[in-house]
Amino acid sequence: MKFIKLFYPILFLINTLQAYSQKTYESTWESLDTRPIPAWFEDAKFGIFIHWGLFSVPSWAPTEGGIYDKYAEWYWARLENGEKPTQSFIDFHQKMYGVKFQYQDFANYFKTEMFNPDQWADVFKNAGAKYVVLTSKHHEGFALWPSAQSSNWNSVDVGPHRDLCSDLTKSVKAKGLHMGFYYSLYEWFNPLYKSDVEKYVDDHMIPQLKDLVTRYQPDVLWTDGEWLQSSETWKSTQFLSWLYNESSVKNEIVINDRWGKETRGKHGGIYSTEYDLGEEVINSKNTIHHPWEECRGIGGSFGYNRNENLKDYETSESLIHILINKVARGGNLLLNVGPTSDGRIPVIQQQRLSDIGNWLKINGEAIYNSRKWNAAPAVLANSTNYFTRKGADLFLIVTKWEDTPIIVEGVKKTESVTMLGYSGKISYSQKGTKIIIIPPTLTPAINPCNYAWVYKLKSCLE
- How do beta strands 416-419 and 453-458 pair? antiparallel
Q: Distance between CA atoms of 460 and 456, rounded to whole angstroms?
A: 10
- Please name the amino acid found at residue 462: E
Domain ranges, ordered by start, for the chain: 29-366, 373-458
Read off the pLDDT of residues 203-226 as tens digits, 9 standing for 90 and up.
999 999 999 999 999 999 999 999
| pLDDT at residue 83 in the model | 77
Question: Could you tell me which CATH number the domain at 29-366 has?
Answer: 3.20.20.80
Sheet holding 385-390, edge to edge: 371-372, 385-390, 393-398, 453-458, 416-419
> Residue 401: which residues within 8 A CB-CB, separation 6 or more?
439, 442, 453
- Give the per-residue pLDDT at 82: 75
Residue 48, pLDDT score: 99
Residue 332 backbone class (left: φ over 0; alpha: ψ -120 to 50; beta: rest): beta
Residue-by-residue pLDDT tens, the chain, 462 positions: 444 444 445 544 544 444 445 689 999 999 999 999 999 999 999 999 999 999 999 999 999 999 999 999 999 999 998 778 889 999 999 999 999 999 999 999 999 999 999 999 999 999 999 999 999 999 999 999 999 999 999 999 999 999 999 999 999 999 999 999 999 999 999 999 999 999 999 999 999 999 999 999 999 999 999 999 999 999 999 999 999 999 999 999 999 999 999 999 999 999 999 998 876 655 554 567 899 999 999 999 999 999 999 999 999 999 999 999 999 999 999 999 999 999 999 999 999 999 999 999 999 999 999 999 999 998 888 899 999 999 999 999 999 998 999 999 999 999 999 999 999 999 999 999 999 999 999 999 999 999 999 999 999 998
Question: Residue 138 in 3-state DSSP?
Answer: coil
The answer to whether 217 touches 180, Cβ cutoff 8 Å, is no
Residues 6 or more apart whose CB falls under 8 angstroms from that of 18 comprise none
Reduced to 3 states (helix: H, G, I; strand: E, B; else coil), residue 48 is strand
Sequence-distant (≥ 6) Cβ neighbours of residue 378 within 8 angstroms: 285, 286
Q: With H, G, I as helix, E, B as strand and everything else as coil, classify residue 406.
A: strand
Amino acid 3: pLDDT? 43
Spatial CB neighbours of 39, under 8 Å, sequence gap ≥ 6? none
Helices (H) and strands (E) in the chain, counts: 15, 16
pLDDT at position 281 is 57
Of the candidates 74, 69, 24, the one whose C-alpha atom is nearest the C-alpha of residue 54 is 74
Dihedral (CA of 212, 300, 115, 126) sign: negative
- Decide if domain 373-458 falls under CATH 2.60.40.1180: yes
Q: In whole angstroms, how far apart are CA 277 and each of 226, 271, 280, 311, 337?
A: 16, 12, 8, 21, 19
Collapsed DSSP state (helix, strand, coil) of residue 295: strand
| pLDDT value, residue 286 | 52
Question: How many Å separate Cα 6 from the centre of its chain?
Answer: 41
Q: In angstroms, what is the C-alpha Rg of the chain?
A: 24
